[in-house]
Amino acid sequence: MKKVAKKGWCITAAVMAVSVIVCIFCFVRWERKSSDLSFQFEETTYTYKDEYYDVDKLVYLQMVGSRDKEKERKINQLLEDDRKKVMEMEPPDSYPDDGWEYRFHVGTHRCDVEYADEKFISISYSGWVVRQRKGPYGLPTTMMATTIDCEEMKVLELKDVVSDLNGLCQMLMEDRFKHITAWDGEPDLDFYKVSTTYSREGAERDLLETLNGNDREIEWYIKERKMSFSERWSAFWGDEVDKALAGKDFVIVILKDNYNEYAY
């Protein structure tokens, strides 16, 4: 009788061990699937000068190494077109006729692949995009971002990913988004609070109008976030929504007084 019980326990233990091994194997495969990419990125630099424009090192990224060359070509065209649209912001015929000479300055400090998988590509650029009088003036820093849906083959707008802009505005005003721009070496969580920036009367309405405005008033991107083992395990066992949100931060960029990024 003892031998039968011992044999039964051994079988149960073996089944449990195999189950754990299978779960770990599937988890590792899911992790690899979520991190392995079939493509990379390389920088392309565009420069241009005439009497109105001073485009110094306008950098944008291009996909390379994809097995699907037609998809690669289409995505690269989206990346290039979205980046170069800053050139259309200040056409020469919009310059004021006040006797001063103006130039439109465009350039890039840095660009980063914030997130990339087979579904989404999200890239941020910091630099300068400004029209100002000719002269020895400093160029204010600003930011833009491009997020592409690789399946729908389109550049995503904020309204494509946020259906309730009023709710988003409220979350920002309640400081539920964390400031992540490291102006002085590390983010200033108190000084750059959204509730502080928009503290005057009527400012919340202004923020909502900004969220509803064009992409020179507000930017956004998806940022990869390091997860703990427990977070990864929860995402593995979660539903499709859990898997889609795993390891990602949603970042709003407010283009006011340079720019500031807020992650949720």
Among 167-171, 181-185, 222-226, which stretch is predicted with the lowest mean pLDDT? 181-185
Q: Evaluate if residue 261 carries a pLDDT over 80.
A: yes
Residue 226 to residue 242: CA distance in whole angstroms: 15
Q: Evaluate if residue 220 carries a pLDDT over 70.
A: yes
Residue 92: which pLDDT band, with cuts at 50, 70 and 90?
low
Residues 39-62: tens digit of each pLDDT: 899 999 999 888 888 888 899 999
CATH top-level class of 38-156? alpha beta
Residue 234 to residue 236: CA distance in whole angstroms: 5
Average pLDDT (149-159) is 92
Instruction: Please state, rounded to an integer, the average pLDDT across all residues of the chain.
Output: 77
Average pLDDT (19-30) is 37
Domain boundaries along the sequence of the chain: 1-36, 38-156, 163-264
- Residue 66's H or E segment, with its range, is none
Q: Evaluate if residue 7 carries a pLDDT over 60.
A: no
Q: How high is the pLDDT of residue 100?
A: 73
CA atoms within 13 A on the CB side of 213: 16
- 240, amino acid identity: E
Q: How high is the pLDDT of residue 238?
A: 58
Residue 47 to residue 107: CA distance in whole angstroms: 9
Residues 188-198: tens digit of each pLDDT: 667 888 998 88
- Nearest Cα residue to 246 out of 79, 25, 21, 33: 33
8 A C-beta contact, residue 130 and residue 105: yes
Residue 166 to residue 174: CA distance in whole angstroms: 12
Tell which wins on pLDDT, 260 or 88: 260
pTM: 0.75
Helix or strand or coil: residue 84?
helix
Helices then strands, counting H and E runs in the chain, come out as 8, 10
8 A C-beta contact, residue 150 and residue 116: no
Residue with tokens 């899911």: 30
